[in-house]
Chains A and B, each alone.
Chain A
Amino acid sequence: MIHEDYYNGLNRLLEGIFILICKFDFCSRNAYNVTYMLQLTEDSFEQSLQYFRNSSAMNLTDVTFIDPYGMVGLLEIELLRKDGIQKTLNLPASDEVLKYLERMDFFEFTDKYFKLEPSRPLLSEKYLRSCYSDVLLEITAIEKSDDIHFIVGRVKERAYSILAKNLHYDETTIDGFIVALSELCQNIVEHSDNRGFVGIQKYYFNNLSKNVVKIAVMDLGIGFRKSLSERFPLRGDLDAIEMALFYGASRYSDEGRGHGLPAVKRFVHQWDGKLSIRSGAARLSIIPGWARGKEKETNLFPFPGAQINIMLPEM
């Protein structure tokens, strides 16, 4: 199983920073950089963005851990390209990571965006489904309202086995979780001209001795700043995220708008979770006692849309 605990020691050692080794391919007319990454998560997203965005290849050969944020991040980075040229994606050498990518339906989206090297692995569906029962939602595209009905339906099917059993959520809390998820996904439908992605996975954190559910939602829409700038004077991306998250600011003047994100924040806070929203060149995080990270980050590598990460621990 690709459990977080397996990598805790490694994660601490790396402190969220990936290892980059530049190699030069002398067989090629144009030498290119090959990036060697060990993990693909929110912590390594900034580096992934900088190195993968304009490179001709994404080398994941050495990746030993990838979470939903890492997966949807890769898809979004590639989706941003408008040149129509398929980038080469060097698949992880680890069988476990490959199985997990397959289980998360990552390969359902790769054919359109990537040339896989080696080609897509052939793995038994039955084996995969039984092996990774901690998946609450595979990587799922969001383009329209019906997609959200599908997502909500799928999460409800698995809510008992994951949210009730592992996070000890009762029925009301599960409903709250589903509503929060719906609101997050709706931002994509409402604000993005492009497709977004969502994925959810349960992990066991050894250092906390707790189960933790990770939710990643991303889109390449107009982002918070552009969305709000017509109605509010803003100092930057961070200001825009704060306005939406803390004050329910919306691009629409209707008072009924803007409930979603503050409600998500309330839910995450109530259940001692971690929430981070990255948009443009800023990230705002709400960090509980058990987690680490910076609350406010600016001057990040600019990236359109919004990238949201939520971690909810068991009660």
Chain B
Amino acid sequence: MARNILEMRKISKTFPGVKALSDVELHVEEGEIHAICGENGAGKSTLMKVLSGVYPYGQYDGDIIYDGEEARFHSINDSERSGVVIIHQELALVPHLTVAENIFLGNERRNRMGLIDWNRANHEAKELMDQVGLHENPVTPVGQLGVGKQQLIEIAKALSKDVRLLILDEPTAALNDSDSAHLLELLRTLKKRGITSIMISHKLGEIEAIADRTTIIRDGETIETIDMSEKDATQDRIIRGMVGRDLEHRYPERIDHTIGDELFRVENWTVHHPTQPGRVVVDGASFNVRAGEVVGIAGLMGAGRTELAMSIFGRTYGRNASGEVYKSGEQIQTRTVSEAIHNGIAYATEDRKKYGLNLIEDIRRNISAAGLFKLTTRGFVNGNEELKVAEEYRDSMNIKTPSVLQVAGNLSGGNQQKVVLSKWMYTDADVVILDEPTRGIDVGAKYEIYTIVNKLAAEGKGVIVISSELPELLGTCDRIYTLAFGRITGVTDVADATPEGLMTLMTQERDAKADAVVGAEENDR
């Protein structure tokens, strides 16, 4: 058995009023890939911040033994000097600087005069880029590269610091499948070179594929460390450890499952790209949803799912939108967001933090933001009623917070999503469009979100779920539309749907007309 490169012993960390970590144990062997699992708010990130010196020595209890010696990191610089490098979920790259400049940022390659030696910098950058499998020009501005490549630059940057212990916080959360696969392969390569990795991840399949051992953290405590080569090291066991209970079904049962008449229909919806007028992003899409029905929209990245939803919802995406929208058989207009809201349509956005919430405002006012008209008489808001509404939603949606006067930015992802859903439920919408409703939230909270989806359907609303995760659509929807390259390629009853069948439709061959569209897309690149 290899020796431990890292032992975190009895780590406790207290914030005012909250014990974030309580006697956490984390033992990492040299040269392994060690996964850390836990629900959002379990304390994973806090633990990594303790390890990397973000919370300096003295601000936590317990010992960190790194490379056989007690480590007392007072800052990130301290930990990096010892070869511990952390890559955060939100990448810390400067978009206008080149790849090489980013790699050596804060660690510039200088000549004897103290000036930056660009030849050396670019040359060394190229070598590092080769090591991570990034075949780009080192003088390309980082902003021109995709997220997957940016992630590789972060790793190259870590390599430039002679990393021995690499910590990755949800490295694949924002990556597509092929970029994720490449990244995981890279971690295996680094492992062969003797670099130890700690990876925080929500993607259990990924962990199963790559991790040697997995430590599960729940409520600031270590639950167990599983050797992934063991036979019973299954996803179910990890989930059980994370949520502290058996999730017999990852998707809740639909009760009162009656589907009524058609509630909402979109016909021949076409939208053009906002800045490239000739480019069709959504091409003649038609779909409908009935009362009490949950309809899924499946599609790969760039298929136009979000664009479809946002253009219908108050023309908030694109230009030259055309097509008809009907509700309960009558044509309605949705030219502005408030028109859409007043016609009973709600759209919960993909990226809650960026588009869904006012993070510096309290929960109460986030909940009332879209339905403020219901609380208003002659332009004045009834503050007491507003508070009451917020508290009702806190209770009914199970938003975990001591007070609705808490700032929304302090909540975990799952609870933030519940606030967003509360906001839209309060508008009394009949048609609820949910764009990636469970992205970035943990297993337990996902279950709660699915329960809410079911509840909405049981109330006779029409729910449209846009999701990248096929199992999620198969687990929650009645029918699933597939979207490929801006066109709807099929609709499948969930009883007949298989992941393989859906994937075929999602990648379906395009006819000549669509070919022209994609041709235009390629010309843009």
Do they bind each other? no
